[in-house]
Structure 1
């Protein structure tokens, strides 16, 4: 479990490429190495990955086919950087919102508006069906960053970034057309899916009643 508060950025120093499989080796910031063990969970651009090897401050993670399909991690090369967050502990402050590290897909950066001390990013969701989970003032995870959703129009939505977010994360270096990982707030998803199931059940019951009414 994660909080969406990025703890640092880490350079990808090596990539071992295999068919439908990758191993990423990152240079973990020194202040995030304490207590790190094999099997631990670390968020990379919002995607929960498992530590498979530790050699000093170089830490390895395996990416399987499903991870490469759903996230932007398969497009990274040595020299790129990723947002990093260690798994949350029960005593940690939840400064963002609870996140699982399970990415549902990517969104494309469509527009960037920059003004003094402010940045607004508009994102386009290629999967229109997922827009039902994106609600004005709701929570969303973008490359592992907990953000509040701004305006929502058709298959686009925007987020507003403070200078701290721009400086501490990779979002400050994103350009038009770049892809970012998206995690939907699980509570929002549960509510929307439950309401849909209830309404579908009621509609089916009404339709069945209409069919069963005897004709005079």
Structure 2
């Protein structure tokens, strides 16, 4: 698990692509301080496993699922990426719950100044993700924990303070750029639980009943009103 507080900006040193599988070697320093083979490091908001390690770089595998649904397939040697180590138990929780499981990508529609901040407006490739995006809610963009300031059915906006822009690779992103999106996991679980329908035939004797629709009448009948 991560918190969406980027620790450093790394540089892609090498990229080896074979079909929809990739090997990425990334130059870094801070995230390597206590790194070991098998550790998880978030790269542009994508949780990846360290498979090789040197004093100045680490290598990770990118599988087809990740290749298809993130912007990692588009990065080239020399490009900068956001890096964060997995959160330690007992560490400070500075951002929000970030799994490193991108829900998809989006396109930056605009980047505009707003006093000391910069506002990015994003249009998800799959607008169905907007069901999980709410004003003042949390969202992760390229591994950065951010707060939504506006949202509609087509897209959303976030406001970036100078420190965040300076300390992340977001400073290099402009209109037309592609960015990884991870929606708030709490919203995804709530949505799934409220809308889940189990079509099992119950042969095992442990199948759950189909969930009843959540209505005012249902809540009243069960003592919530």
Deviations 1:83-133 (A, max 9, x none): 000010012101000111001100110011114411000000121211100
Equivalent residue for 1:5?
A: 5
How far off its partner does 1:197 sit?
Answer: 4.0
Structure 2: runs of 5+ lacking an equivalent: 198-209, 215-225
What is the alpha-carbon distance in structure 2 between the residues aligned to residue 202 and residue 41 of structure 1?
Answer: 39
- Matches for 1:55-204 after TM superposition, within 5 Å: 55-197=54-196, 201-202=212-213
Structure 1: runs of 5+ lacking an equivalent: 204-216
- Structure with the higher helix share, 1 or 2: 1
Equivalent residue for 2:17?
A: 17
Equivalent residue for 2:204?
A: none
How large is the RMSD of aligned CA atoms in angstroms?
1.6
Q: Is 2:27 aligned against 1:27?
A: yes
User: Is residue 20–residue 65 contact of structure 1 (8 Å, CA) maintained in 2?
Assistant: yes
What is the alpha-carbon distance in structure 2 between the residues aligned to residue 190 and residue 104 of structure 1?
Answer: 13
User: Is residue 31–residue 83 contact of structure 2 (8 Å, CA) maintained in 1?
Assistant: no
User: Is residue 6–residue 144 contact of structure 2 (8 Å, CA) maintained in 1?
Assistant: yes
Deviations 1:41-86 (A, max 9, x none): 0000000000000122121011011111000001001000100000
What is the alpha-carbon distance in structure 2 between the residues aligned to residue 195 and residue 66 of structure 1?
Answer: 27
Corresponding residue SS for 1:201: coil
User: Is residue 126–residue 155 contact of structure 1 (8 Å, CA) maintained in 2?
Assistant: no
Corresponding residue SS for 1:150: strand
Q: TM-score, normalised by structure 2?
A: 0.86
